[in-house]
Chains A and B, each alone.
Chain A
Amino acid sequence: MIVFEQVSKRYPGGHEALSEVSFELRHGELVVLSGHSGAGKSTLLKMIPVLERPSAGRVLINNQDVSHLQRSAIPYLRRSLGLMLQDNRLLYDRNVFDNVVLPLVIAGMSPKDAARRVHAALERVGLGGRDQEMPIGLSGGEQQRVAIARAIVKRPSILIADEPTAHLDAAYAHEIAELFQSFKSVGVTVIVCTHDPALFAETRPRRLVLRQGRLIEGAE
């Protein structure tokens, strides 16, 4: 489903964020990506929705090489993914419903179907009935849940989350981790980047560990 082949990323200043990283993720896997700060976790995740392109090697998603994807095709690739990057990136001038419905509006779904999907996604993350609230009035954990609802509302087959439990207290972090683990059970491939892999240990996920841009564990 997701294949990294000898992927390297060198920035213009000469800093090498990733070095010959290779791995393959199968359908329905839950993968926890960890490593110290600056190990290249975020760079690796950003290559899947083509927020970054490799300097060398290939990234394949469903057998399609996205490393050299044309700019005009990138939005359509992103629509097929559930993305949750660092900080939740909610729009604070819109209510919960309008935040969660955004990917469906972008995809051109009819308002009726979109509303049904939004309510189902909010139920899934435990925020049913709170669609008219403004994000600023929610707790940090609830805001993360809104971001998760927005990521899953399209029912993507791949869900990518960069530090979804960052800045949350232990109780909220466990709730979010449980939520991600539950997605695995419905066949979603989940890649979670975290500083705290122990949070996800319950379902014995596959672990990918990066150190100074090199994959030191989980390559298979």
Chain B
Amino acid sequence: MRAWSYQHRKAIAHAMQRLLRQPLGTLLSALVVGIALALPAGGFVLVDNAASLARGVTGSPEISLYLSLDATEADVADIESRLRAQDALAGVQFVPRDAALKQLADNGLADVLDGLERNPLPHAFIVTPRQEDPALFERLHTTFAAWPKVDHVQLDAAWVQRLHTLLSLVELGVSLLAVLLGAALVIITFNTIRLQILTQRAEIDVTRLLGATDAFIRRPFYWLGCLQGLLGGLVAWSVVTLSIALMRPSVEALAEAYGAVFSLNGPTPPQVLALLVVAIALGWLGTALSVRRHLRESQ
């Protein structure tokens, strides 16, 4: 175990030496990788901000359940207990038919309502789902509609559907961009490692002669690829954070013009972590493909 960790430490030190020995090349590679990653990373952060903006402007979506007019107190209690048993719901509010009528009267319709022989409004429940997931809304709608004494279920969330469709579309575009630029990153790493293998051919031959296994020979290259990915990820993080900081005042001013309060948020710590992990993983993948191909050629 000590020998294994010693060999890894040596491999890391060796990889870092390689990076420091060619500062300009290292910087350029990190910038290329960083910019390639910054585009989708920035896109995801903006989509995230757009979603939170939409939430702030329109409030939480709700579902209304209107009971049939002959629903008794026992029916109301039964429906309420069913609703409270739903884990997917964050809130359940009962609106008795009398309260609904009073609210309507208070809204200036008292004269019209006075002419009615009886209260035409049903008991109602207004529920708030925990997640703004259109699929969840559809599932809840189907479930509630099948319950006895539930006359009508209304989704007060048509906008949720539209917003999610729009954001999903943007997210898909950003994902496609991420895949394309991720592939570019893999190709960049593949080529960097290919050049390293070519320049270190003599060293590889000597170590092989002295009894080095393939794993021993590959190790420094893997570290080199991962370090290059990490540097690229850090550059991408910096680019996204800087861009958000530059855009923030303009976005705040725009929101203010519409009477809203909104501020652009930079990447969250989990997003930064994900960005760095993806960058390292792509660096590793490019290295794996390169060493598999070029070390086999050098045998």
Contacts and interface: CB of A to CB of B under 8 A. Distances in A.
Interface string B106-117: 000000000000
Given A89-B202, A89-B206, A91-B203, 18 more contacts: A49-B209, A72-B213, A75-B211, A75-B213, A78-B211, A79-B210, A80-B211, A83-B209, A91-B202, A91-B206, A102-B210, A105-B7, A106-B210, A107-B211, A109-B3, A110-B2, A110-B3, A111-B6
Contacts of B206: 89, 91, 102
A72 B207 CA distance: 15
A75 B6 contact: no
A176 B60 CA distance: 86
B28 interface: no
Interface string B1-22: 0111011001000000000000
Interface in B1-50: 2-4, 6-7, 10
Contacts of A108: 3-4, 6-7
A85 B207 contact: no
A49 B208 CA distance: 11
Nearest to A102: B210
Contacts of B211: 75-80, 103, 106-107
B212 interface: yes
Nearest to A76: B211
13 contacts: A75-B212, A76-B211, A78-B210, A80-B211, A89-B205, A91-B206, A102-B207, A106-B207, A106-B211, A108-B4, A108-B6, A108-B7, A111-B6
Nearest to A71: B299
Interface in A44-79: 49, 51, 72, 75-79
B262 interface: no
A69 to B, nearest CB: 13
A108 B3 CA distance: 5
Interface residues of B, number: 18
Interface in B168-217: 202-203, 205-213, 216
B220 to A, nearest CB: 11
Contacts of A109: 3
Interface in A124-177: 150
Contacts of B216: 75, 106
A43 to B, nearest CB: 16
B151 to A, nearest CB: 74
Given A91-B203, A110-B3, A105 B10 contact: yes
Nearest to A72: B213
A63 B209 CA distance: 22
A75 B206 CA distance: 12
Contacts of B205: 89
9 smallest beta-carbon distances between A and B, as pairs: A108-B3, A79-B211, A78-B211, A75-B211, A103-B210, A75-B213, A106-B212, A89-B206, A106-B211
A106 B211 CA distance: 7
Contacts of A107: 211
Nearest to A91: B203
A102 B44 CA distance: 47
B8 to A, nearest CB: 11
A24 B16 CA distance: 48
A111 B225 CA distance: 26
Q: Which of A72, A75, A91 has the most CB of B within 10 A?
A: A75
Contacts of B207: 102, 106
Nearest to A49: B209
Contact of B210 (A51, A83, A110, A111): A83
Contacts of A89: 202, 205-206, 209
A72 B212 CA distance: 10
Contacts of A80: 211
Interface string B51-63: 0000000000000
A14 B207 CA distance: 31
A72 B157 CA distance: 63
Contacts of A83: 209-210
Interface in A89-116: 89, 91, 102-103, 105-111
A103 B10 CA distance: 14
B167 to A, nearest CB: 51
Contacts of A105: 6-7, 10
Contacts of A77: 211
Contacts of A102: 206-207, 210
B7 A78 contact: no
A106 B3 CA distance: 10
Q: Which of A72, A78, A106, A108 has the most CB of B within 10 A?
A: A106
A107 B10 CA distance: 13
Given A75-B213, A83-B210, A110 B6 contact: yes
A106 B208 CA distance: 9
